A and B are shown apart, each in its own frame.
Chain A
Amino acid sequence: MYRIRFHGRGGQGMKTASRILGTAFFIEGFEVQDAQRYGAERRGAPIFAYVRADRTAIHERGVIGRPDLVVVADDTLVPVSAAGVMQGIGPDTVLLIDSAESEKTWRERLNLQGPILVLPRLIPLEPSEMAYVGTECAAAAACLTGIISLASVRQAVQQELAYMKAGVVDRNVEIASGAFARMAAHSGIVQEGGTTSHHDRTVPSWVDLPADDIGESSPAIYGAATSVAVRTGLWRSMRPVVDTSRCNRCTWICGSFCPDSAIARGSEGYPQIDLDHCKGCMICVAQCPPHAIVAIPEAEAVAQEKEGAAS
């Protein structure tokens, strides 16, 4: 059975990715199960979807614990443990990362035994084209299995995106074909995983739940604003940056309109943006009277920060 997981952000089309790959398998005559993990499908938030494909009926259900292939649509998610990208990756798991960085860099960074591949960015990550990433990932994954033809992928894209405008569908088919071609050298690298042996089984470490005191055992939070521990800054694909040369220091404007309490008045009266929690909505950019806040792609901002740190 093939067990494939897609990781990305809400808005990047991970559900579409799993559906395109699922349909492509189905066209090739496989039994298929695909699903998106729902829950926090907020734009920009980490999200994942998965596909199982086999030649006989599939009895497994739910989240894939031991994937044969993990596709990461957004490389900034790799180190985020809450995103669960690395969960269950074994020596035979192929990791495919949509990234501008090299395979060598990732190999050094992650220290994994299994194969790591990089799907180089074909398209600039304009917010309006975020949804194309799913198509790209699905086509690349299909190629890596070595048993799905490009024709099936193209048909799957057309089928799954049938509700979209013709031009958009054509663009997706084009992107899928490109991604498929770029992975051709690795066609067949993903192998079907086996089943879980009963003979060599591990025994679950069950525990008897203690009867806890009522102070612990009801779903109550005994503190204020514990939500600040959640770093929603990870959702951001665009970052607001303040140009102090143009800033009027009217922080009551940007600060009032920020829905996430992420803008404070800094020491010299300039807005101070809490990047741990700024979700990248860009309301501050839209509302700033002297247009002193500009939006730049998060990846660019991170790269600039690194350069700054290095120099």
Chain B
Amino acid sequence: MTRELITGNAAAAWGARLARADYLPAFPITPQTEIIETIARWSGEGVMDCRMVMMESEHSMITAAGAAAATGVRVYTATSSQGLLYGMEMLYTVAGWRAPFVMANVSRGLAAPITLESDHNDILAARDSGFLQIHCATCQEVLDVTLMAYRLAEDRRVRLPVIVNLDGFYLSFTREPVNIPGQDAVDAFLPAFDPGPATFRAGHPVSQAVAVLGGAPYSYFRYETALAAQAALDVYAAIGADFFARFGRRHGALERYRCEDAEIVFFMMGSFSTKAKEAVDRMREDGVPVGLLRLCMLRPFPTELLRSALTGKRAVAVIDQNLSMGKGGILHTEITSALYGYRNAPPIVTSFVGGLGGRDISIEEFFEIAAINRRASETGEIPPPRLLYTDTELREIRKLQAIAHVERQEEIVP
């Protein structure tokens, strides 16, 4: 084992390397490209026995990834943002093939307007695809979870592709100290891929991904996929226990940070949740009982774990780095549907949208979010959803609009 300063992208590539991925169909997109370049370099140097092929689009890339996994090799691939959406048809398709492989998504906001910086609307668009989703908050987690994701994807009770998500810039291009486990230790944790009978071999005919006629067979196959996704919760917990026993680091579907005696809990996912940890520490110093609950696994959704973690809390502040037009924060929808009707659910669940397109969330904003939730828990009134956006930012936009020759309408002051 070594401990090195590496970027989130390098950590992802290390995960693929230590997992002994056989095959990498690739297509470049910022901020992901460093992953495929790193693996290409390692393959060229001969330190990684992985065949890389440059595809002409993410749609083709995901097709090739699924087809190779269905043929029985261990596949790794990576994308981001527009690329993930360009491949969207194939996300659903290869998940339906039950082809297990691991794909990194380096989160980046979606067009339009096009941007390079991070938020979670890309990965959330893939929420219902059948890919399982694990969201990382540190570079270490990117490496560890990539290894765990192969165990999860290839488990016969699951057999589904897994997306490991890391935030663009905040993880992808940021170096942090990462423990890189030894190959022998990883080999002991992650055995070679056993594809089972559904592979293409002469003398063993198999027709895969066959059409169905009628709703009943369709429903059967789709629901079996859903059951496999559900089963992934327990499988992942067991994999996490084994990983902890071998490597001493714990990764689960949820991370609780100073939650036990917390009255107010931040709920979020991705690398910005470490900012919330900093805010929690500062508030704790000042005697404010707050905690952080980080959603690490979005699919399958850990409903029971979430309920138990939030039992008896006074308020939950959901911070969404995404936006569903005409609805609001997507995690807020996810958590409220999981809590509704649960006897011990927190009475207050508030919604904040921030960090869109890489917009920072300041520690003062976390403080204020906690304060709003404290007041709400005292009055029992849930405040309306809030976009984290300052008057300074709006003034800057007005300046940009002036340069863009925008004719401002009269400001309507309510």
A–B contact (CB under 8 angstroms): yes
Residues of B within 8 A of A35 (CB): 169, 173-175
Residues of A within 8 A of B112 (CB): 219
The answer to whether B175 touches A34 (Cβ under 8 A) is: yes
A205 to B174, CA, bound (A): 29
A207 to B411, CA, bound (A): 14
Closest chain-A Cβ to B162's Cβ sits at a distance in Å of 25
The answer to whether A215 touches B407 (Cβ under 8 A) is: yes
Known: A196-B363, A206-B390. A33 touches B174 (CB 8 A): yes
Cβ of B176 within 8 Å of any chain A Cβ, yes or no, is yes
Known: A19-B175, A39-B116, A206-B388. A61 touches B283 (CB 8 A): no
| CB-CB nearest in chain B for A36 | B173
The answer to whether A222 touches B282 (Cβ under 8 A) is: no
Closest chain-A Cβ to B321's Cβ sits at a distance in Å of 12
Closest chain-B Cβ to A94's Cβ sits at a distance in Å of 23
The answer to whether B409 touches A38 (Cβ under 8 A) is: no
A215 CB contact (under 8 Å) in B31, B176, B392, B406? B406
| CB-CB nearest in chain A for B5 | A26
A26 to B30, CA, bound (A): 28
A203 to B372, CA, bound (A): 11
Cβ of B286 within 8 Å of any chain A Cβ, yes or no, is yes
Chain B interfacial residues counted at CB < 8 A? 52
| CB-CB nearest in chain A for B360 | A62
Residues of A within 8 A of B286 (CB): 197-199
A210 CB contact (under 8 Å) in B271, B393, B412? B412
| CB-CB nearest in chain A for B390 | A205
**Secondary structure dominating the interface of A:** loop
Report B167-208 residues with CB < 8 Å from chain A CB. Answer: 169-170, 173-177
Known: A210-B411, A216-B406. A61 touches B174 (CB 8 A): yes
A62 to B389, CA, bound (A): 17
Known: A59-B281, A61-B274, A215-B409. A204 touches B31 (CB 8 A): no
Q: Which of A26, A33, A62, A226 has the most CB of B within 10 A?
A: A62
Binding site for A on B (CB under 8 A): 5, 30-31, 112-113, 116, 169-170, 173-177, 271-272, 274-275, 277-279, 281-283, 285-286, 288, 360, 362-365, 367-368, 386-394, 401, 403-409, 411-412
Other A-B contacts than A60-B278, A65-B362, A208-B387, 16 sampled, CB-CB below 8 A, are: A31-B177, A32-B5, A38-B31, A38-B116, A39-B116, A58-B176, A59-B281, A61-B170, A61-B275, A198-B279, A198-B283, A204-B368, A210-B411, A222-B404, A226-B404, A229-B403
Question: Can you name 15 A-B pairs with beta carbons within 8 Å?
Answer: A23-B5, A26-B5, A32-B177, A34-B5, A35-B175, A38-B31, A38-B169, A58-B176, A59-B275, A60-B275, A65-B362, A204-B362, A204-B390, A209-B394, A226-B405
